[in-house]
Chains A and B, each alone.
Chain A
Amino acid sequence: MTFIEVIVLYCLQRIKGERTIYSVLHILNGKKSAQTIQDIHIFELMPFFQTYPNLSRAEFDRIISALKEQKWTTEGKTFQHYDINPKQEDEFARLLIEYPIPTHLNGWKYHRIAVGFWERLALSVQVASHLSKGDNRYMPIQRNIVVQAWMKQALQNYAGDRQSLNEQLYQELADCLDDEAVLPEYLVCRLTGSEHIGLTPEQAAASFGIDRSYYELYFLSLLHFMLKKILSAKEKFPFLRQMVMDDNTAYILTNSTKATYEYIQKGLSLDEISTMRRLKMSTIEDHIAELVLNIPDFSIEEYVSPDKIAKIKKIAEVTASKSLKQIKQQLPEVSYFEIRIVLAKLGGGIN
């Protein structure tokens, strides 16, 4: 069993056949749709958001059929619904002990900054290594011009002696990574210096003799671990701190939702926003669902009557179901939008 199969099975186990298998693909890809964002909250799959952004549908289908063949799953209400095979739950629990999901993984919290952080880190290490030798003729391993522009700025702002930036970077990285809970060598082997070019993820996985999908997830969790540590003790990591992208918004929102939010704060109605932004009403409704999920004190009372909220809550609790369709069947008078935002407000709170 490859590690990505373990992850997919884990996700299927959490969603209990209440969503199609592709909702799992959307989570791993990090699809920024209201539905997916809602799902990770309801089913507590936040750590896995955007952990495999390049996983293709074809590859995902192969994983699903492999799981089926090995009898890990049973078919649900349609051919697109699968749940973990009840007979295998104990075996799977044992497997998760053998191949633990990296503790520090937190895709939802860090997905927007993790890749940028890595690009800046990789380039900084290369630049610092060359600068220490007084060498400025080399090919940067990061081609993204935004990252290169950041590097230039960071060097200009650097108060110390550029030739000894390497010493500071070493100290900060050593402090940051020195922790029994992680394997820093998984990150170090990827770094490029003046004498050595870093490994690709595939080469790294091969050199540690582990499955590639496991390596990739572990590497990502290592970045998340670093981000958490850096952001919680900023003064200890002055240079690493700069590699963390500024996130002006306190909440993680998609750009379009941000725009809608600004209109709402100005007191516009959903209809007015839809007209002004020339977006379909359903899109604006998606934005509202996203806002409810991300802003703890976002009020839904303006969009659903208290009476309906109570009804939806009750049905959701009684049936312990998070399927919109099932609730709608029992409450024909409420709209899907109303059910969605009420469920979003309830969040992962009911299980």
Chain B
Amino acid sequence: MNLEKNLMKLFSLPSFRPGQKEAISALMENRHTLAMLPTGTGKSLVYQLPGKLLKGTVIIISPLLSLMQDQVEQMKMNGEKSAVAINSFLNWQERNDVIKNIRKYKFVFISPEMIGTPYILNVLKKLEIGLFVVDEAHCISQWGYDFRPEYQNLGIVRKELGNPLTLALTATATPAIRKDIISSLALEFVEQVIYSVDRPNIALTAEILSSGIEKRKRLEELTNTLQGPGIIYFSSKKLAEQTAAELKQNSGKRINAYHGGMSQEDRILIQQQFLNGQLDIVCATSAFGMGVNKENIRYVIHYHFPTQVESFLQEIGRAGRDRQNSISILLYVPGDETLAYQLTEMELPNELQLNQLRRSLLPYTTYEDWAEKELAWIMEQFTETQWRVLTAYVQPEGKTCKQIEAKLNHFSEFCKNRLAVKKQSIHDMLAWVLLKQCRRSYLTSYFQEKEAPINSVCCDNCGLNMERFYSGQPINDKAELVGDGWKRQLAFILNKRREKADE
């Protein structure tokens, strides 16, 4: 089969990006495939092309609702109308409509929680499944940085669906995690297509500053001098918003915040404004970036301390998709990692909280009895994330209190292990920040890859002249709302034909 021809015919693309063809060929030869392709290399093509060539429905498991929506919209934009997402954004009526007509769709995106429900699973069982895709597959591994308990059932789900041809996709996974993905999904004979995490056109630097005030000053300097567009990452919504407002006032640049606390409508607008060149800088939390296919992002600044090398790489990977020189700058004040450690500890329930739950179970025999009296106040003792992880792990519904207690003991072991993994991740990240040797080599060896090729624009430790990233020129001022008065503006927005009277 000539894959290039199909690529041209179906997607109007002249050639594959690294890794795509190998993964697609393996799938077309009916082999399960694990593909690790860096962000920005068009991972979705790896299931879209075989999906169109193979018979049957393509099921795509995706962990983030917003990402799912984005992917569906992008496929629709590219002319693929038979894509749909089944998730909690749909109300009961809409979901029923989709399920009733499920056979009409070629690409079905679904959240891991949703596919685990018996009702949905029974619907899917009746379909012919051409390809089963697990996106962000590292979420399945307990040793991974982004473990999601909902992913754990996917091995069983796959089996229930009759072991369909499977593609596991990830952008960053160490060899141990890759092994875990394969065994959790119970895949036999897997073709692994692994591409280096190294992005040679992104220069790497970390700057150590003496205080928060110095860091803030340096940020302002950088945003004033760096050639944009750029993204600045923050760990909190509030800080992203505040800094965006301050920078905007002081620099005169077009800056806006973006975070998960904003309405969906606002988030789409900000993202599109950035893509369209109406914004120079976005001050964002980690919610920003997935699905932002902007080619010419010139820099990514980390104002906070990333909690793991993997997410750090994903975030800086949004720069330089056009393969032009770009830069990643991490700003660090000694002690920044403390907050990262604290946040990590809060993500999972501690023994104190678990003991409170254990004690409340004692007077009852079944979950239902207990829930009626105690659930409400017990839930308040946990954060939303903690409770989500706990219930996904323990699955208390229908269990006796004795069974729940036994499960809780396992869970508390599990939490200890997770915490250790996460602390190690922060430690590894800190080591990278404090590194005196080549920053690129550290990253490739972290993923046990061979040394990255020699790079003339490598990192601060290999000698880097930052000036090449500075620019006095403002960004091309595209897309200002043209015209005086609302009628002219409306005419501009709607591309109204000009009439003589208007000129």
What is the interface of chain A, defined by CB distance below 8 A to chain B?
Answer: 125, 128-129, 132-133, 136-143, 145-146, 166-167, 169-170, 173-174, 177-178, 184-185, 188-189, 191-203
Pick out which of these stretches binds chain A: B69-77, B128-136, B301-309, B457-465. B69-77
Check B276 for interface membership: any CB of A closer than 8 A. yes
B264: A residues at CB distance < 8 A: 143
B486 A185 Cβ-Cβ under 8 A: yes
A137: B residues at CB distance < 8 A: 77-79
- Chain B's closest residue to A174 (CB) is B487
A132 B494 Cβ-Cβ under 8 A: yes
B495 A193 Cβ-Cβ under 8 A: yes
What is the interface of chain B, defined by CB distance below 8 A to chain A?
Answer: 69, 73-74, 77-79, 89-90, 94, 256, 262, 264-266, 268-270, 272-273, 276, 278, 479-481, 485-487, 489-497
**28 examples of A-B residue contacts, CB within 8 angstroms:** A125-B494, A129-B494, A129-B495, A137-B77, A139-B73, A139-B77, A139-B268, A140-B73, A141-B268, A166-B496, A167-B494, A170-B490, A173-B490, A191-B493, A193-B495, A195-B495, A196-B278, A196-B480, A196-B493, A197-B276, A198-B269, A200-B262, A200-B265, A200-B266, A200-B270, A201-B266, A202-B266, A203-B256
Contact of A174 among B78, B269, B480, B490 (CB under 8 A): B490
Known interface pairs A188-B486, A189-B481. Does A133 touch B265 (Cβ–Cβ under 8 Å)?
A: no
Contact of A196 among B73, B79, B265, B481 (CB under 8 A): B481
Nearest CB in chain A: distance from B45 CB, A: 16
A199 B479 Cβ-Cβ under 8 A: no
In the complex the two chains form, what is the Cα distance from A192 to B496 in whole Å? 14
In the complex the two chains form, what is the Cα distance from A170 to B490 in whole Å? 7
- Chain A's closest residue to B481 (CB) is A196
Q: What's the dominant secondary structure at chain A's contact region?
A: loop
- Chain A's closest residue to B488 (CB) is A188
Q: What's the dominant secondary structure at chain B's contact region?
A: helix
Nearest CB in chain B: distance from A39 CB, A: 28
In the complex the two chains form, what is the Cα distance from A193 to B491 in whole Å? 10
B79: A residues at CB distance < 8 A: 136-137
In the complex the two chains form, what is the Cα distance from A191 to B494 in whole Å? 9
B493: A residues at CB distance < 8 A: 125, 129, 188, 191-193, 195-196
Nearest CB in chain A: distance from B146 CB, A: 24
A145 B256 Cβ-Cβ under 8 A: no
In the complex the two chains form, what is the Cα distance from A137 to B76 in whole Å? 9
B272 A141 Cβ-Cβ under 8 A: yes
B265 A141 Cβ-Cβ under 8 A: yes
Nearest CB in chain B: distance from A215 CB, A: 14
Known interface pairs A139-B272, A174-B487. Does A195 touch B90 (Cβ–Cβ under 8 Å)?
A: no
Nearest CB in chain B: distance from A188 CB, A: 5
A185: B residues at CB distance < 8 A: 485-486, 489
A138: B residues at CB distance < 8 A: 77
Contact of A133 among B268, B487, B495 (CB under 8 A): B495
A189: B residues at CB distance < 8 A: 481, 489
Nearest CB in chain A: distance from B12 CB, A: 11
In the complex the two chains form, what is the Cα distance from A195 to B74 in whole Å? 19
In the complex the two chains form, what is the Cα distance from A200 to B267 in whole Å? 9
A192 B272 Cβ-Cβ under 8 A: yes
A188 B490 Cβ-Cβ under 8 A: yes
Contact of B497 among A167, A196, A198, A199 (CB under 8 A): A167
Known interface pairs A139-B77, A143-B264, A189-B481. Does A197 touch B278 (Cβ–Cβ under 8 Å)?
A: yes
In the complex the two chains form, what is the Cα distance from A181 to B270 in whole Å? 31
Nearest CB in chain A: distance from B62 CB, A: 15
Known interface pairs A139-B77, A196-B278, A203-B256. Does A191 touch B490 (Cβ–Cβ under 8 Å)?
A: yes
- Chain B's closest residue to A194 (CB) is B495
In the complex the two chains form, what is the Cα distance from A132 to B491 in whole Å? 12
Nearest CB in chain A: distance from B405 CB, A: 36
Nearest CB in chain A: distance from B126 CB, A: 23
In the complex the two chains form, what is the Cα distance from A196 to B269 in whole Å? 10
In the complex the two chains form, what is the Cα distance from A185 to B490 in whole Å? 9
In the complex the two chains form, what is the Cα distance from A197 to B493 in whole Å? 9
In the complex the two chains form, what is the Cα distance from A201 to B256 in whole Å? 13
Nearest CB in chain A: distance from B491 CB, A: 6
A129: B residues at CB distance < 8 A: 493-495
Besides A137-B78, A189-B489, A197-B272, 7 other CB < 8 A contacts?
Answer: A141-B265, A141-B268, A143-B89, A184-B490, A185-B485, A196-B481, A197-B479
B489: A residues at CB distance < 8 A: 185, 188-189
A132 B269 Cβ-Cβ under 8 A: no
- Chain A's closest residue to B489 (CB) is A188
A173: B residues at CB distance < 8 A: 490, 494
B77: A residues at CB distance < 8 A: 137-139
Known interface pairs A140-B73, A141-B265, A177-B486. Does A195 touch B492 (Cβ–Cβ under 8 Å)?
A: yes
Nearest CB in chain A: distance from B114 CB, A: 16
A167: B residues at CB distance < 8 A: 494, 496-497
Most A CB contacts (10 A, CB to CB) among B89, B94, B256, B272 go to B272
A201: B residues at CB distance < 8 A: 266
B268: A residues at CB distance < 8 A: 139, 141, 143
A177: B residues at CB distance < 8 A: 486, 490
B479 A169 Cβ-Cβ under 8 A: no
Known interface pairs A141-B269, A192-B269. Does A184 touch B492 (Cβ–Cβ under 8 Å)?
A: no
Nearest CB in chain A: distance from B168 CB, A: 27
Contact of A199 among B73, B269, B494 (CB under 8 A): B269
In the complex the two chains form, what is the Cα distance from A202 to B245 in whole Å? 12
A166: B residues at CB distance < 8 A: 494-496
Nearest CB in chain B: distance from A224 CB, A: 18
B266 A132 Cβ-Cβ under 8 A: no
- Chain A's closest residue to B90 (CB) is A145
Known interface pairs A184-B486, A196-B481, A199-B269. Does A170 touch B494 (Cβ–Cβ under 8 Å)?
A: yes
In the complex the two chains form, what is the Cα distance from A52 to B288 in whole Å? 27
In the complex the two chains form, what is the Cα distance from A192 to B89 in whole Å? 24
In the complex the two chains form, what is the Cα distance from A129 to B497 in whole Å? 11
Known interface pairs A137-B77, A138-B77, A197-B273. Does A169 touch B494 (Cβ–Cβ under 8 Å)?
A: yes
